[in-house]
Structure 1
């Protein structure tokens, strides 16, 4: 278990990547290379889970880590949730496992979600509407949401445009429309007791995200995928005031390193009393761990 009293922060948004070259024929390496170029990431191949754990341990930062199950829509082979959870368990001092299930799997996906929590200690679930090709308020996802709500674990949704497929021919076939955070408002209404996190500054729908998070008590925002030096003024204003208890630190590793994000955060105009809330305290409350 992570000793939350000792880590300096909780990164709520890191990606699990398979060993480089494992599935070179399905196009995923091309997507990763394009994203690394977009973000200016320094690596030639994405880090593995053990490499990720080593980096975050060195930084003394706990990390929520997850794969993205988008095999049906993209053709990229699925990184098995069980394998991610098992590897995270080997580094349980620093990694917090989330899972990802394509909502098109319906009742089969719901069964998997319950099993992952019960048998593998999964602490939450990641959705990527753009990569998974679905609107978050499509009723096809309701069986999976119902299962997640039963477990009491949070659901984290990618929102906005954060570089996935950017610059690739046809945007790599990825449609931005799915990631408008306003669609998640319907989910928050029908599942009011399921914690929901809107991932990233939701460009170009920042005000929609702020509206949903302000209006719905169970909706949070993680600040991953952008350097804080590029945050819009309205996002910082809400983080400093109305939403100070609902903002979470996230880097979007391995595209953005936690150290790089934190350096920019130090220079951004966040209030001193708000910084510890964003860096750790809000995440601890959301994960249900004692301060």
Structure 2
């Protein structure tokens, strides 16, 4: 990508806020997921990185985690398969003994100009990866999450201001926000918190891979700050929501949008 996204490789400085914790991050090979993995590791957490098949990217993320002195476990596979979601959690439990943090971040999107253009199979796959996987991961992880654990979903400003070209993606992001609201209430008596992050335009590989070239060129210019955000600019929020400092923050949805309000 040009310019190359900033994942905090040279800038993020940890302060022990996640010492001894074990995290699962889906879509952890690149973009927001990589930035979160780097930040978590520098804050003291071991990290399981779930990804589809981007082996080179995953290995690079692993190197950054290990440079921080933490363990990195790579698990490739398709989160559209509920059995694989359960296998991801089982691997984390086998490697770390528990799950303290679950970050459901993996996502798929494609742009279409009309409803008729959206293939049935693409609708089903978008919901399976973006939304159903979150359900299956959380359901499998909760029995292994001690009090004080945290679940974080990546939603989007699109759930409030849905661009018509991204209909299936928009629906899943609204669903994630809603699911987090339910989880915060369902899991409060277990001492498990659930929150979501709502990014605006963030410069990740998903953008040039799924959007027309003319949209990529102007990506992010519509927000008040006039530019796309970098993955590194979201990572500190995930750290806060995962940390013990956020002990009374649950059911929240936090916008990181470069000034674009969400309702």
TM-score band w.r.t. shorter chain: 0.3 to 0.5
TM-score (norm: length of structure 1): 0.38
TM-score by length of 2: 0.41
